[in-house]
């Protein structure tokens, strides 16, 4: 920037030295272009040190004149000074690399490549590569281009991150934590988030969150927060509890994915770094917060009733901002949770490095506004979206569909069986002492247990033959599974509540015998299934 002075009347004018430098540069340039006194001017440009008092623009011109006069060492010295004093001047880096490439100084090019790459754009770098002749630094410039392109890629990926995780522009939040007391929280930072803040977040120096709701009470992203319930935190769970948590996590992720697929974009799943998972929904443009809540609130309510290990929470929680409040905030992904010390990540990407995690965002699609409007208009709040695997069993085994719809605790065990996940003795006991009392109990149990790693059809028949008493009650099932959800609403006012009451009178205690044609067909189908599995 040209130095200026203020006269007594307050008018700004260039300082005398700056004017002198400009006049000297113009006079020297004119003589060189005319071809006059080239040698004498070259000596003057190389020895005269007045360029040290010039600004960056004038120094670049002085270096250009020195190069024009054949004094390349003087030109390199001046360009190096500009790089040192004004490192963000990309033109100086470009000029210096071009001159080194002409001279064929490969080692100097290699030494400058990484530093220069941070200040130049891709087009400028490619221009330098094009001007380098083979064997005169071209190979080093090509090699230097690769890390530079990687840097450009990271810039693009970080811009993509900012466009997806879009919150209030004039304010964000910084997370704090006190590990001695186990407390953490956020404090507002009342200014726009800058690139340096994002770098600190990614590096772990600080952890930031965004306020989802914009000033006009619209949102461009929403989050379903799935946290482990308090009774399961702060301790290492036993094998049965870990298995139950894994089953619920798998069920929750599949239900969310199915819901998102119907909208044209499944949510992005993030391990939060502390208590659970975040399911991020992105929209092509900001939508009214009330409309987004109408879209996602029924999903959260319906799924919440099926979960014993996780509790769901929807953000934003409000339809509109009140007064000067900022609304809800959510921690940005890929940062370190200040209390747990764990970094959040996207499980869909196996690699945990920042570049790979950010690359995953290139495949994320945003939901179109018309999809949201159509879904809100047609959504039936009472109906839970079911995965196709669950619906597949509803045809030949309608009893299981009824039980899945009515009893979340029993449904979790049946879904685990369908997925081929290994169940424990408690879950097996629940299946035998509920489904075993049905008219087709034998066929249903074989259907559910056939994917178990240690499936033994003869042992299943033996255990079923020893079944006595009454179906297992709701309280006992909840106790065996450590299920803390509400009891189902069963009609009839029965004193002893159990899941089979959902089927009305379509159950009774009896050993399965071939006393009718349907039972015979069921047994034949099961036998054929065993033969097919054996042949495979």
Boundary of a domain, candidates 105, 136, 162:
162
Res 441: pLDDT: 85
Q: Is residue 154 part of a domain?
A: yes
DSSP secondary structure letters along 352-420: -SHHHHHHHGGG--PBPHHHHHHHHHH--TTPPP--HHHHHTTTT-HHHHHHHHH-HHHHHHHHHHHTT
Q: Are 514 and 490 in contact (CB under 8 A)?
A: no
- What CATH number is given to the structural domain containing 173? 3.90.920.20
Q: What b-and-e string marks burial along 11-26, b requiring 16 or more CB atoms within 10 Å of the CB?
A: eeeeeeebeebbebbe
Identify the CA nearest to 262 among candidates 405, 374, 164, 377.
Answer: 374
Q: What b-and-e string marks burial along 229-261, b requiring 16 or more CB atoms within 10 Å of the CB?
A: eeebeeeeeeebbebbbebbbebbbbbbeebbe
Structure token pair of residue 323: 């007064």
Expressed in angstroms, the distance from the first to the final Cα of the chain is 79
Residues 6+ apart with CB under 8 A from 148: 113, 117, 120, 122, 125
What span, in angstroms and rounded, lies between the C-alpha atoms of 361 and 158? 10
Res 332: pLDDT: 95
Q: Is residue 496 part of a domain?
A: yes
- What CATH number is given to the structural domain containing 68? 1.25.40
Looking at the fold, whether 76 and 37 belong to one and the same domain comes out as yes
Looking at the fold, whether 284 and 347 belong to one and the same domain comes out as yes
Task: Please count the CA atoms within 13 angstroms of the CA of 362 that sit on its side-chain side.
Answer: 10
Q: Is residue 411 part of a domain?
A: no
What span, in angstroms and rounded, lies between the C-alpha atoms of 271 and 342? 10
Residue bearing tokens 């360009």: 79
Q: Is residue 384 part of a domain?
A: no
Identify the CA nearest to 92 among candidates 128, 126, 122, 47.
Answer: 128
Residues 6+ apart with CB under 8 A from 172: 188, 189, 192, 193, 197, 208, 209, 210, 211, 329
Looking at the fold, whether 438 and 343 belong to one and the same domain comes out as no
Looking at the fold, whether 374 and 488 belong to one and the same domain comes out as no
Q: Is residue 251 part of a domain?
A: yes
Q: Is residue 413 part of a domain?
A: no
Res 223: pLDDT: 95
Res 194: pLDDT: 92
Question: Residue 98 CB: number of other CB atoms within 10 A?
Answer: 21
The tens-digit pLDDT sequence of the chain (536 residues) is: 444 444 444 444 455 566 678 888 888 888 888 777 888 888 888 888 888 888 988 888 888 888 888 888 888 999 999 989 998 888 888 888 888 877 777 778 777 776 776 677 666 766 766 665 555 445 555 554 555 566 678 888 999 999 999 999 999 999 998 888 888 889 999 999 998 999 999 999 999 999 999 999 999 999 999 998 887 777 777 887 788 888 888 888 888 998 999 898 999 999 987 788 999 999 999 999 999 999 999 888 888 877 878 889 999 998 888 767 888 899 999 999 988 888 999 999 999 999 999 999 999 999 999 999 988 887 544 444 444 444 444 457 788 888 877 787 788 788 778 777 788 888 888 899 888 888 888 888 888 888 888 888 888 888 888 888 888 888 888 878 766 556 666 555 556 788 888 777 656 554 444 445 666 677 677 778 777 776 76
Boundary of a domain, candidates 351, 378, 405:
378
Q: Is residue 395 part of a domain?
A: no
Identify the CA nearest to 41 among candidates 27, 54, 58, 61.
Answer: 27
Looking at the fold, whether 360 and 217 belong to one and the same domain comes out as yes
What span, in angstroms and rounded, lies between the C-alpha atoms of 315 and 222? 6
Looking at the fold, whether 103 and 243 belong to one and the same domain comes out as no
What span, in angstroms and rounded, lies between the C-alpha atoms of 435 and 440? 8
Res 512: pLDDT: 41
Looking at the fold, whether 349 and 470 belong to one and the same domain comes out as no
Looking at the fold, whether 460 and 486 belong to one and the same domain comes out as yes
Boundary of a domain, candidates 141, 162, 183:
162
E strands in 229-374: 268-271, 276-288, 310-315, 329-331
Length of the chain: 536
Looking at the fold, whether 153 and 180 belong to one and the same domain comes out as no
Looking at the fold, whether 318 and 349 belong to one and the same domain comes out as yes
Looking at the fold, whether 88 and 218 belong to one and the same domain comes out as no
Q: Is residue 389 part of a domain?
A: no
Res 309: pLDDT: 84
Strand order in the sheet with 183-189: 183-189, 172-178, 208-211, 329-331
Q: Print the domain residue range for 29.
A: 14-162
Looking at the fold, whether 138 and 171 belong to one and the same domain comes out as no
Res 268: pLDDT: 95
Q: Are 175 and 185 in contact (CB under 8 A)?
A: yes
What span, in angstroms and rounded, lies between the C-alpha atoms of 281 and 267? 5
Number of domains the chain contains: 3
Res 530: pLDDT: 72
Structure token pair of residue 268: 């992005």
Tell how strand 12-14 and strand 208-211 pair up: unpaired
Residue bearing tokens 């992720």: 253
């Amino acid at each position: 920037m040209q130095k200026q002075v203020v006269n007594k009347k307050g008018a700004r004018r260039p300082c005398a030295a700056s004017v002198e430098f400009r006049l000297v540069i113009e006079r020297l340039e004119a003589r060189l272009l005319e071809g006059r006194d080239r040698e004498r001017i070259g000596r003057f440009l190389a020895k005269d040190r007045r360029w040290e008092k010039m600004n960056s623009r004038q120094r670049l011109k002085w270096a250009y004149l020195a190069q024009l006069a054949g004094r390349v060492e003087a030109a390199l010295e001046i360009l190096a000074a500009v790089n040192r004093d004004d490192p963000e001047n990309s033109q100086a880096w470009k000029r210096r690399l071009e001159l080194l490439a002409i001279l064929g100084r490969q080692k100097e090019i290699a030494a400058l490549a990484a530093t220069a790459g941070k200040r130049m754009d891709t087009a400028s770098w490619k221009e330098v590569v094009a001007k380098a002749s083979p064997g005169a630094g071209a190979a080093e410039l090509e090699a230097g281009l690769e890390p530079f392109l990687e840097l450009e890629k990271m810039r693009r990926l970080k811009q993509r991150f900012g466009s997806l995780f879009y919150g209030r522009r004039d304010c964000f939040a910084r997370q704090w934590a006190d590990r001695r007391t186990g407390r953490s929280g956020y404090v507002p930072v009342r200014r726009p988030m800058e690139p340096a803040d994002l770098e600190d977040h990614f590096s772990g120096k600080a952890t930031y969150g965004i306020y989802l709701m914009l000033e006009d009470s619209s949102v461009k992203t929403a989050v379903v927060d799935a946290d482990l319930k308090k009774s399961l935190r702060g301790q290492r769970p036993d094998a049965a509890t870990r298995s139950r948590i894994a089953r619920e996590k798998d069920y929750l992720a599949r239900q969310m994915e199915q819901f998102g697929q119907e909208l044209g974009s499944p949510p992005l799943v993030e391990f939060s770094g502390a208590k659970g998972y975040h399911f991020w929904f992105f929209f092509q443009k900001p939508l009214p917060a009330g409309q987004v809540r109408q879209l996602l609130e029924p999903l959260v309510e319906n799924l919440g009733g099926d979960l014993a290990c996780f509790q769901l929470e929807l953000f934003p929680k409000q339809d509109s901002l009140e007064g000067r409040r900022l609304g809800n905030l959510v921690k940005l992904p890929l940062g370190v949770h200040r209390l747990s010390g764990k970094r959040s990540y996207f499980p869909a990407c196996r690699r945990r490095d920042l570049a790979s995690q950010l690359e995953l965002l290139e495949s994320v699609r945003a939901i179109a506004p018309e999809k949201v409007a159509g879904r809100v208009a047609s959504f039936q709040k009472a109906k839970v979206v079911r995965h196709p695997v669950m619906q597949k069993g509803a045809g030949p085994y309608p009893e299981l569909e009824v039980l899945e719809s009515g009893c979340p605790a029993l449904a979790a065990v049946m879904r685990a069986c369908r997925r081929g996940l290994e169940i424990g003795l408690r879950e097996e006991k629940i299946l035998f002492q509920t489904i075993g009392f049905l008219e087709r109990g034998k066929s249903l149990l074989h259907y559910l247990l056939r994917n178990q790693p240690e499936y033994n059809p003869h042992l299943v028949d033996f255990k079923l033959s020893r079944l006595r008493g009454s179906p297992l009650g709701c309280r006992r099932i909840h106790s065996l599974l450590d299920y803390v959800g509400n009891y189902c609403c069963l009609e009839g006012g029965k004193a002893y509540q159990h899941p089979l009451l959902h089927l009305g009178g379509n159950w009774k205690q009896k050993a399965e015998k071939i006393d009718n044609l349907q039972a015979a067909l069921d047994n034949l189908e099961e036998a054929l299934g065993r033969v097919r599995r054996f042949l495979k």
